[in-house]
Chain A
Amino acid sequence: MPETLVEFKKVNKKYGHIHALRDVSVSLNKGEFVSVFGPNGAGKSTFLKLLCTMTPPTSGQILYENTPLNKLQDSFRSRFGVISHQPFLYSELTALENLRFYAKLYDVQNIDERIKVLLDKVELYKRRNDKVRGYSRGMLQRLSITRALLHDPEIVVLDEPYTGLDTHASDILTRILMELFDDHKTIVMVTHNMKQGYDAASRLAIIKGGKLVFNEQKANISVQEFDERYIEAVSR
């Protein structure tokens, strides 16, 4: 029986008169890799924001290991590592200064050692003293991965992480995601890239018009069938 980590119960999210998410009920199990697909404006990013406690639901309930969101301490957020299409980095600071700042916020122990290990992994250790302003898109995203993994999060949330990446950066990201998955981390990734999303995932989901219209284990559906289901779901 898989261990439920996060559970959405009839979750709705409204921004003013815009209904971004409608009656979403879904469970996220420990060690799963969930790829979430959907057209632009479907509510995927809102789903991620709700998941990582950035914003509360308008109605419904989100339970984290059976504890509702409003009962959780601020320290709970350290269980999430977020990689977005935005780097979350200060352009005038060096890679090292950026990472040290986030490490202090997340109360990371042995900061410099941890930073070295992660920067080596993304092949940026030699550029650690360069200002982030001079980094390419791919380097920014690799540094962003380091920032998100500094505190060894249990749940890794990715919002279109492959956007604008070159092949090298894309390969590094895929390799790191696979390592995290092997390490039994829970991963939720929103992506437009069907192939990368399908290949990496253990579960597939489609959100359209704020509704979760598809949610299935990858083992139960082939890539062709999923392609067909996606086209059917978004063109409906």
Chain B
Amino acid sequence: MKYLGSISAIVSKDVLHELKSREIVVSMLLFSVLTVVVFSFIFEPGSQFKNEVVGGILWMSFVFAGILGLNKSMMSEVTGGNFSALLLAPVDRSAIFFGKAISNFLFIAMVEIFTIPLFMVLYNVNIFAYGAMPVVIFFLGTYGFAILGTLFSIISVNTRTREVMLPLLLLPIIVPVILSSVQALNIYILGHDPADAVKWMQLLAGFDAIFTVVVFAVFDFIVED
């Protein structure tokens, strides 16, 4: 109970901090919306080719906006030495990690909630034509991104080149998550058999589970020094 209480305290603090500062979600949302709008000018109206790539554009907008948000999220912890104070607290250090990861997940999910409808209008695609299953894709993809992104933002935030370091560390590792998310989403965009998306979602869930276990196991060692 203490473990969940600690996670909940960190998430509540992050949400309250964000409601007051509006630093993370607003900047991520602007970046994400801008990416989706700018790329929408590339395609000819009615172009069939566009449907094969727009899923990738949507996820790229989330990934790059997410990187922006992760940097800001960790900066609020490093400023004033707050992250040291969290490490000094009498709680399991993995609870600190999962608290931060859940906060980041919520912030990215907020951005997705606003960006997806705009994306559907601008690119004239209906992701939800076959039901609400794409919600699961967004959930799993965002979870994987938040878990790995939070870990690497903690590693990179103390480096001088943190803005460059985070994508350099994160993007090569996050490829399986992005790939599975884009492939699963494309099946819904292109109107293929939704059953084909299940294997991608299973793969995505598998990666999420592996990353969660690995982070849980190594986090203590990462923050030791």
Contacts and interface: CB of A to CB of B under 8 A. Distances in A.
A106 B86 CA distance: 10
Interface in A90-108: 90-93, 97, 101-102, 104-107
Nearest to A15: B225
Interface stretch (B73-81, B124-132, B133-141, B199-207): B73-81
Given A77-B90, A90-B13, A91-B80, A107 B2 contact: yes
Contact of B224 (A55, A74, A86, A91): A55
Contact of B89 (A84, A89, A91, A106): A106
Interface in A6-63: 15, 52-56
Nearest to B99: A105
Given A55-B224, A87-B81, A92-B20, A80 B13 contact: no
Given A80-B88, A101-B13, A104-B9, A87 B2 contact: no
A75 interface: yes
Contacts of B86: 105
A102 B85 CA distance: 9
Given A93-B13, A104-B5, A88 B90 contact: no
A92 B17 contact: yes
B87 interface: yes
Contact of A74 (B10, B12, B84, B92): B92
A229 B88 CA distance: 34
A93 B17 contact: yes
Interface of B is mostly: helix
B91 A105 contact: yes
Nearest to A84: B81
Contacts of A55: 224-225
A107 B2 CA distance: 8
A56 B224 contact: yes
Interface residues of B, number: 28
Interface in B1-52: 2, 5-6, 9-10, 12-13, 16-17, 20-21
B82 interface: yes
B17 to A, nearest CB: 5
Given A54-B84, A104-B9, A105-B89, A93 B225 contact: no
B162 interface: no
A interface, how many residues as a size bin? 20 to 34
A93 B16 contact: yes
A54 B2 CA distance: 20
A90 B90 contact: no
Interface string B48-61: 00000000000000
A88 B80 contact: yes
Contacts of A86: 80-81, 84
A90 B80 contact: yes
Contacts of A80: 88
Contacts of A56: 224
Given A86-B80, A90-B82, A106 B90 contact: yes
A88 B90 CA distance: 15
Contacts of A106: 89-90
A110 B84 CA distance: 25
A101 B9 contact: yes
Contacts of A54: 84, 87-88
A82 interface: yes
Contacts of A131: 20
A132 B81 CA distance: 14
Contacts of B93: 74
Contact of A92 (B21, B85, B87, B91): B21
B225 A78 contact: no
Contacts of B90: 74-78, 105-107
Q: Which 4 A-B pairs have the closest CB atoms?
A: A86-B81, A88-B85, A78-B90, A104-B9
Given A53-B88, A54-B88, 7 more contacts: A54-B87, A77-B88, A78-B90, A88-B80, A93-B16, A97-B13, A105-B10
23 contacts: A15-B225, A52-B88, A54-B87, A56-B224, A74-B90, A74-B92, A76-B90, A82-B88, A86-B81, A86-B84, A87-B81, A89-B82, A92-B17, A93-B13, A93-B16, A93-B17, A101-B13, A102-B89, A105-B10, A105-B90, A105-B91, A106-B90, A131-B20
